[in-house]
């Protein structure tokens, strides 16, 4: 019989089982308990905009490639590829600096249609100077917060970030949003199986499909983090010159795709950023 733990994902259960099985002492069991209560971010999904590496100016919004409002007008389709699927990054960035430009939410002019978001912030996990008590520090770079029913974006931001000798830059995205619940006609929350049966129909033994509608639940904070690398590590997103879309929700930028119009419905809500080398 499968064991179900509320709030746990399958990978959490599997990892906990492996850790517990290998724990041979009370100290190890204590470490397992500490890990289970830790806030582990989900992977941050990034998509690279093919052709953007050839753009001359990455500091300004690439209107010819991605209209700010997500409407038609691009010259043909814009191709996106998951950053993990790139063959490799730019090795010359290792040990130096990279210029990061945060352009803002995409589609930019539809922020009034984001009623379920309260705050979105992008941070970098940077190494600290030698002798500092902590090896890394989390530095917030850009944020968007709700005021009067509208998400107010910070201005576009450009900054230089150090890249360690290992050629890795870690980005952290924190999203405060309202959970989406799926309610049946009887007002019950749809169960994990997604069968849409209401509590009243289940209790009475009456089956059959039930119409359901999404509603917004309580506010919660999701954290996403990924380490971009200049190397060709297969499981890591690659760091190179060009435009990237960062997903503010999971499972939306995992596969290659093309967008030409109405990208909000096709790729979900994103943050547009750009990387380029520092001369």
Q: For 27-62, what is the HEC assignment?
A: HHHHHHHHHHCCCCCEECCEEEECCHHHCCCCCCCC
Strands 46-49 and 168-184: unpaired
| Residue (of 77, 81, 47, 75) closest to 63 by Cα position | 75
Inter-residue contact 225 to 43 (CB < 8 Å):
yes
In the predicted model, is pLDDT for residue 121 greater than 60? yes
pLDDT at residue 146 in the model: 76
Alpha-carbon span 79 to 254, nearest angstrom: 13
Query: The whole model's pTM is what?
Result: 0.70
Strands 150-153 and 157-162: unpaired
Provide mean pLDDT across the span 249-278: 69
Dihedral, CA of residue 214, residue 117, residue 122 and residue 59, to nearest 10: 100
In the predicted model, is pLDDT for residue 189 greater than 70? no
Least-confidence region, from 2-16, 106-120, 160-174, 230-244: 2-16
Higher local confidence (pLDDT), 113 or 195: 113
Higher local confidence (pLDDT), 104 or 113: 104
Higher local confidence (pLDDT), 22 or 244: 244
| Residue (of 272, 239, 235) closest to 254 by Cα position | 235
pLDDT at residue 265 in the model: 44
Q: From residue 153, how far is each of 142, 197, 253, 268 by CA, in Å?
A: 9, 40, 22, 18
- Please, which pLDDT band fits residue 67 given cuts at 50, 70 and 90? low
Domain boundaries, the chain: 1-38, 41-176+220-277
> What DSSP element (H or E) covers 71?
none
pLDDT at residue 233 in the model: 81
Query: Tokens standing for 87?
Result: 């063959």
Rank 90-99, 198-207, 245-254 by mean pLDDT and report only the highest.
90-99
């Amino acid at each position: 019989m499968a064991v179900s733990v509320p709030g746990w994902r399958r990978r959490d259960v599997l990892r906990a089982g492996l850790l517990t099985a290998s724990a041979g002492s009370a100290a190890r069991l204590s470490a397992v308990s500490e890990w289970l209560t830790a806030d582990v971010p989900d992977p941050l999904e990034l998509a690279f905009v093919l052709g953007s590496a050839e753009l001359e100016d990455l500091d300004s919004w690439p209107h010819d490639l991605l209209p700010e409002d997500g409407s038609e007008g691009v010259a043909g389709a814009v191709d996106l590829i998951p950053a993990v699927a790139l063959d490799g990054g730019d090795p010359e960035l290792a040990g130096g600096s990279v210029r990061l430009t945060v352009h803002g939410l995409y589609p930019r002019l539809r922020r009034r249609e984001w009623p379920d978001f309260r705050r979105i912030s992008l941070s970098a996990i940077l190494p600290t100077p030698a002798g500092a008590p902590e090896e890394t520090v989390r530095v917030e770079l850009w944020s968007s917060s709700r005021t009067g029913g509208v998400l107010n974006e910070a201005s576009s931001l450009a900054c230089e970030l150090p890249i360690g000798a290992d050629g890795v830059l870690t980005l952290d995205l924190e999203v405060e949003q309202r959970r989406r619940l799926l309610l049946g006609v009887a007002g019950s929350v749809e169960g994990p199986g997604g069968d849409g049966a209401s509590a009243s129909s289940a209790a009475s033994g009456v089956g059959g499909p039930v119409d359901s509608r999404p509603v917004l639940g309580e506010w919660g904070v999701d954290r996403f983090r990924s380490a971009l690398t200049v190397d060709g590590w297969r499981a890591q997103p690659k760091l190179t010159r060009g435009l990237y879309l960062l997903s503010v929700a999971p499972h939306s930028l995992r596969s290659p795709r093309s967008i030409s119009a109405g990208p909000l419905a096709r790729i979900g809500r994103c943050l547009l950023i750009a990387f380029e080398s520092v001369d």
